[in-house]
Structure 1
C-alpha cells in the first residue's frame, strides 16, 4: 500500500500512528519481562493495540463504514482502490487475530517513508527464521506430560528466554521512532526517508521476533501520488526477506 503525504498534517497523522506502534513495542517488552503475565496476555494486549491502528487506517481510507466497503469489494459490488484497500486491511487484521494460535505462519511488516509518501507491506508467509531472530519459549504451548520438577524447570527456562526477548525489544523499538521523526521538530531533509521491518511467528512453543531498521530505495518512486493505492512489492522488502528468512513464500 502506498499512502500520500501531501502536507505536514498528513505527516503528523503518520507520526502519531507510528508512535503508537513504538509505544506498543515498549509495553510488550515490559509485559514479556513480567513473570506474573502469561504470554497469551502479552499478545492479547498487542492485538488490542493493533486493532486501534488498523481501525485508524481503515477509517482514513474508507470512512466509518469500512466493513461494508470491504465486503462490497469482496462481493464484486464495487471495484475501486478504496474497496481494495479496505478489503486488504480487513483481511490482514483477521489474519493477525490468528497469528498466535496458528502454527508456522510468519507475520511480515515493512513500513517505509519516502519523500512524499509512505508504504505499508503487510504479508503472511511460510518458511523459517534466520539466525538474526530472537527466540523465546511459551510454557503454555508445550504439549508434554511433565512432572512437577520438569514443569518448574520448563517455566524457569521460558521466563529466561522471555527476559532476553524483552531486552531485545527494549533496545529495538527506537528504530521505529528514528524511522518516523516528529515533523514539527525535525527538518524535512532529515525526515524524508526512513523505515523498519517487524517479523514475528510461532513454531510450536517457540516464538520468533525481528525488529530492525530498513533503508528505503530513494529511486523507487518518481511521481507524486494523489490517492492511496496498491503498488508492487519494493526491492527493500525483497532484500529483507532474503536477509531474515529462509525459504519464505507468501500466503497473502
Structure 2
C-alpha cells in the first residue's frame, strides 16, 4: 500500500468528483442493497451508544467507526476485483486496462487508503452521499478540506486538547466534553432513521414508494472538535437516462454538489 499514493498522484483526476453507479436489476439486488444500508444505519446506532457511554473515550469511538468503514471497503474491493484488487486498480490507473472492474477497484482502493490515514489526519472532511434511483444506486465518497456550516452537531474530545490545565480546569473540560458527546449521541439517534427511510425493505414496501431516496453523511475533525451531519437527500429524477448494464463510474451528480454548498463553506475536493 505504501506506493499507492505515488501511483495515484499522477492519475488522481480519474477519480476526482466521481461516484460509483450500481444497477438494481431485480428484487434480489434491492434486498442486498437494503441489507447493506441497514448495516450502515446499525453502525450509526452503535456510534450513538458509544458516544453516550462516559466510560468509552472518544478516540475509541472514532477508531471503531473507521475500522468498520475500512472493513466495508475491503469487502467491496474483494467482491468487485477479488484478492488481486491492488494489481487490478494499479493497472487501471496506469492505462493497462479500461473496464468497470478496474475503475471500481481504483475508486474503492483510494477510499480505503485514505481511510487508513484518516485517524491521524486533521482538518479533512469525509463526505458520503448514497442515492437510490428506480433502476440503480450511486455511492459518492469524497475527501474534502473546508469548514462546516451551522448544521449538524459538534462535540469535543479531551484526548485531543493540547493544553496544560490544572485539575479544576481538567474536570470542567471533561464535563463539557461529556455534555457535547451526549448531544451528539442524541443527534445520531434521531438521524439514523433517515438511512432506513431512504432504502426501505423491498419485500414490504411498494415499488412506487421506494423508487427514490438518499442521504448525506459528513464528518470531520479540527483539533479537539468533531463535526457530524446526517441528513436526507433527494435524488434528481432527471439525472440518468436508460438502465445501466454494469457498475461503473459516473459524475458525482448535482445532488452531491448541492449538499457541499448547503452544508460546507470553502469546500475543496481532494478526492
In the other structure, the counterpart of 1:41 is 60
In the other structure, the counterpart of 1:145 is 164
TM-score by length of 2: 0.90
1:116 corresponds to 2:135:
yes
In the other structure, the counterpart of 2:90 is 71
Structure 1 position 29, deviation (Å): 0.2
Structure 1 position 75, deviation (Å): 4.4
Structure 1 position 148, deviation (Å): 1.1
Structure 1 position 60, deviation (Å): 3.0
Distance, in Å, in 2 between the alignment partners of 1:190 and 1:140 is 45
Deviations 1:128-154 (A, max 9, x none): 100002100010000111111111111
| Contact 2:70 2:116 (C-alpha < 8 Å) held by counterparts | no
TM-score by length of 1: 0.96
1:91 corresponds to 2:110:
yes
Aligned length: 252
Distance, in Å, in 2 between the alignment partners of 1:23 and 1:177 is 10
Structure 1 stretches lacking a partner, 5+ long: none
In the other structure, the counterpart of 2:15 is none
| Contact 2:154 2:184 (C-alpha < 8 Å) held by counterparts | yes
| Contact 1:129 1:245 (C-alpha < 8 Å) held by counterparts | yes
In the other structure, the counterpart of 1:244 is 263
Structure 1 position 119, deviation (Å): 0.5
1:182 corresponds to 2:235:
no
RMSD of the TM alignment (CA)?
1.2
Secondary structure of the 1:54 match is: helix
| Contact 2:78 2:85 (C-alpha < 8 Å) held by counterparts | yes
What pairs with 1:123-134 in structure 2 (closer than 5 Å)? 123-134=142-153
| Contact 2:70 2:115 (C-alpha < 8 Å) held by counterparts | no
1:9 to 14, 28, 40: 28
| Contact 1:99 1:201 (C-alpha < 8 Å) held by counterparts | no
2:220 to 201, 225, 250: 201
Distance, in Å, in 2 between the alignment partners of 1:122 and 1:110 is 7
Greater shift after overlay, 60-69 or 144-153?
60-69
Deviations 1:82-130 (A, max 9, x none): 1121111111112123223211111000000000000011001111100
Deviations 1:28-62 (A, max 9, x none): 00000001101111122112221232133223322
In the other structure, the counterpart of 2:246 is 227
Structure 1 position 69, deviation (Å): 1.8
Secondary structure of the 1:230 match is: strand
